[in-house]
């Protein structure tokens, strides 16, 4: 029996419709789980946590044991690639990631060819997780897309509007595009390594894709993502690739058509009826429950789950959130969401 039949999520990514659809959540290994918080306390900081295969493997498996999700996504972070490029990354409690702001004119100073060495612990985590998963559970590896990674590098951390990065993209286009290429090439090596270590699926997170005019979207979102997909395929990796250009709006169809991704992850603002018409009928989609509805729970959660299940019933669909689960979500709400989805069986 093939993996596509044994694993419901892989079946959907191969073009099948499943009722109920397979389900997992972005950030499903996280602070809303008491068992996660217990393990997190054993690491001196978040980066060390990601680079500790024993701890990272344990928290990757926790939501599978508790909820029986159809996929486990490896516990890591999108800002590990900058470390492989020679940048310093740290996390500040209550503030999030911090980096020394990077001047794109210094792109030649970024180190190259270090992904497999620096990020080897993530491959080890995958190798540890794989044999511990139930046979029907898909293992997902991932990386941040070049644009999103670049925004953190240029801004020195998170930013509401990525204005400094957008200015650099327009004003220093050659340097900026060269930086994106270096991030993309490091990401190719990283994703290939993850597939070799056992990932059944790869996902590319472009968390800050919203708000870009189409010419910039083509340059900084589509072009480097296509470079990654082509590079991964050129290395002989055939596993499905899910792309998530969060907030892409009317540019979602162009992203799907031009990057070569296998499936499209959708954010909470996507209008299903419009998207059905804009996408090829057989293109798998993933998403896109509002994390706030999950936090609210009750009738609101149930009606939103039903709406999305009905909206995507005629297309290959993976049920997920439109962004990551928040730390304050009660476990009971996750259980209620899963019960609602699984009641469609």
Q: Establish whether 27 is a catalytic residue.
A: yes
Predicted structure pTM score = 0.96
Of 70, 77, 185, 290, which residue is the catalytic one?
77
pLDDT of 105 > 60? The answer is: yes
Of 152, 190, 252, 255, which residue is the catalytic one?
152
pLDDT of 1 > 60? The answer is: no
Average pLDDT over residues 12-17: 97
Handedness of CA 222, 208, 172, 174 (dihedral sign): negative
Domains and CATH numbers, the chain: 3-342 (3.20.20.210)
Q: Establish whether 344 is a catalytic residue.
A: no
Residue with tokens 């953190």: 152
Query: Over the range 96-128, which residues count as b (16 or more CB within 10 Å of their CB) and which as e?
Result: ebbbeebebeebeebeeebbeebbebbbbbbeb
- Rounded to an integer, what distance in angstroms lies between the CA atom of residue 88 and that of residue 5? 43
Of 17, 18, 31, 127, which residue is the catalytic one?
31
Q: Establish whether 190 is a catalytic residue.
A: no
- Rounded to an integer, what distance in angstroms lies between the CA atom of residue 280 and that of residue 275? 9
Residue pLDDT, tens place only, 36-83: 999 999 999 999 999 999 999 999 999 999 999 999 999 999 999 999
Q: Establish whether 40 is a catalytic residue.
A: yes
Q: Establish whether 31 is a catalytic residue.
A: yes
């Amino acid at each position: 029996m093939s993996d596509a039949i044994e694993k419901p999520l892989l079946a959907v990514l191969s073009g099948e419709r499943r009722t109920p659809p397979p389900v997992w959540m972005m950030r499903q290994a996280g602070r809303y789980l008491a068992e996660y918080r217990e393990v997190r306390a054993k690491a001196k900081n978040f980066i060390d946590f990601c680079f500790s295969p024993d701890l990272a493997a344990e928290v990757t498996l926790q939501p599978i044991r508790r909820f029986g999700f159809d996929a486990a996504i490896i516990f890591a972070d999108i800002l590990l690639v900058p470390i492989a490029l020679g940048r310093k990354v740290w996390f500040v409690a209550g503030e999030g990631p911090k980096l020394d702001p990077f001047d794109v004119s210094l792109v030649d100073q970024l180190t190259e060819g270090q992904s497999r060495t620096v990020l080897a612990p993530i491959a080890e985590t995958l190798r540890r997780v794989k044999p511990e998963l139930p046979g029907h559970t898909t293992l997902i590896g991932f990386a941040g897309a070049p644009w999103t990674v670049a925004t953190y590098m240029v801004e020195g951390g998170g930013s509401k509007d990525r204005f400094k990065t957008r200015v650099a993209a327009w004003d220093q286009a050659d340097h900026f595009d060269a930086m994106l290429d270096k991030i993309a090439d490091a990401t190719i090596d990283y994703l290939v390594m993850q597939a070799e270590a056992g990932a059944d699926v790869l996902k590319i997170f472009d968390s800050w894709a919203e708000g870009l005019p189409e010419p910039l979207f083509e340059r900084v979102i589509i072009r480097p993502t296509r470079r990654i997909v082509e590079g991964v395929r050129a290395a002989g990796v055939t596993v499905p690739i899910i792309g998530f250009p969060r907030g892409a709006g009317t540019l979602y169809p162009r992203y799907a058509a031009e990057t070569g991704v296998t499936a499209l992850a959708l954010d909470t603002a996507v209008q299903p009826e419009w998207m059905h018409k804009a996408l090829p009928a057989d293109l798998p989609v993933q998403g896109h429950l509002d994390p706030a509805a999950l936090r609210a729970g009750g009738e609101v959660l149930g009606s939103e789950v039903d709406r999305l299940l009905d909206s995507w019933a005629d297309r290959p669909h993976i049920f997920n959130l439109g962004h990551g689960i928040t730390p304050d979500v009660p476990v009971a709400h996750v259980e209620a969401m899963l019960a609602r989805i699984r009641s469609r069986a």
